[in-house]
Structure 1
Amino acid sequence: MPIHMKKVILSLILAVTAMAAAFAQAPANPVAWRSNVKMQSATKGTVTFTAIVSEGWHLYGMQMPKGGPKPTTFSFAGSQGVKFAGVPVPSAKPVKKHDKMFDADVTYWEGRVKFTVDFEITDPAKAALAASVTYMGCNDQTCSPPKTHKFTLRIPAAK
């Protein structure tokens, strides 16, 4: 086998090995989610969703430019007998930065961020909370595919 061909094969083997090592270090899910429901009265409450983002990763903001990454969005489809006061509000302002992968200015959070939304029970007999979040976790080299996390929410008795 000619030396040139050996160099090409060796280069390919090294490249594949480096890529495999990079992917092996990526967490299966770079964002973990928790939720909490707290009642302020018999009919008014707050849902808090907490995102715990793995070190070196970030969670994209709630509004993204066209052609950019998938924004973080919440859905309350399946909820009954409750009325939500808008969309969940983040506990911190996201970082705004130019993302080379998407060639766009994007917003994101790192570390831990909480999203809260108030709700009112409109029909106590049917009151049920259902929620999900669709999001993307990325680092400087790669992104996890968009994921949807469904929350199991229980309305506690008011104190």
Structure 2
Amino acid sequence: MKHIRYILSLLLLSTLRMVAQNEDPVEWEFSAKAVDKDTYEVIMTASMEHPWHIYSQYMEDGGPVPTTITFTENPAIQLVGEAKEDGIPIEKYEDVFMLDTRYYEGVVHFVQTVKVNANTETPVTLEGTVLFMACSEEQCLTPQEREFKVTLNPDHKQG
């Protein structure tokens, strides 16, 4: 009887471990590189486990939750344009949403150019959040939010 309980416990733990792994199929990394004296690229990289994907920032209303990047206001920093998507987008009609969607699998980089105001002492910290929804062909997870903090330092040159 003890052996059966032990085996059942092991099976339960391995099942829970598999479920936990699938609950977080997207890993994020955040960094910043100096482009010149006052300009930086903030790079937000999403790495997705197969078969998961996340959606573009540019989605039609009524569809899946788009990836949304929000920066905390900082009077020393100005955003230059919008965050660009650097990856290979997949465009596909999805019956569940009844519209064309645009998403990324594998790895995608979101790159936001920022300028540090003149006469601001560096390094400067930029904070924000990324809201995203991970989906596979079978299911979508609840939208998740990741907080980030990057340091804008002129010594970190673009390579």
TM-score bin (small chain): 0.7 to 0.9
Which amino acid in structure 2 is aligned with residue 37 of structure 1?
A
Match 1:149 to one of 131, 146, 156 = 146
Q: Decide whether aligned partners of structure 1 residues 70 and 129 sit closer, same or farther in structure 2, where only a CA change above 3 A counts.
A: same
Letter in 2 for 1:85: V
Aligned partner of 1:63 in structure 2 is 58
Among residues 117, 142, 158, which one is paired with 1:122 in the alignment? Answer: 117
Determine whether 1:74 maps to 2:108: no
- Structure exhibiting the larger radius of gyration computed from Cα positions: 1
Normalised to the residue count of structure 2, the TM-score between the two structures is 0.77
Q: What residue number does 1:29 align with?
A: 24
Which letter maps to 2:42? Answer: V
- What is the rounded CA distance, in whole Å, between the counterparts of 2:75 and 2:145 in structure 1? 21
> Alpha-carbon deviation of 1:40?
2.5
Equivalent residues of 2:87, 2:107 under 8 A apart: no
Given that residues 67 and 130 in structure 2 are in contact (C-alpha distance below 8 angstroms), is that contact kept between their aligned partners in structure 1? yes
1:131 is aligned to 2:144? no
Structure 1: runs of 5+ lacking an equivalent: 1-19
Q: Give the % identical residues.
A: 26
Residue 25 of structure 1, CA deviation: 7.9
Residue 36 of structure 2: aligned partner: 41
Per-residue CA deviations over 1:81-118 (Å, capped at 9, x if unaligned) read 11111221111241110112222211100000111111
TM-score, length basis structure 1: 0.77
Letter in 1 for 2:79: F
Q: How many residue pairs get matched?
A: 139
Specify the SS of the correspondent of 1:66: coil
Query: What RMSD, in angstroms, separates the aligned Cα atoms of the two structures?
Result: 2.3
SS at match of 1:27: helix
Matched residue SS, 1:24: helix
Q: Which portions of structure 1, spanning 4 or more consecutive aligned residues, are displaced by more than 6 angstroms?
A: none
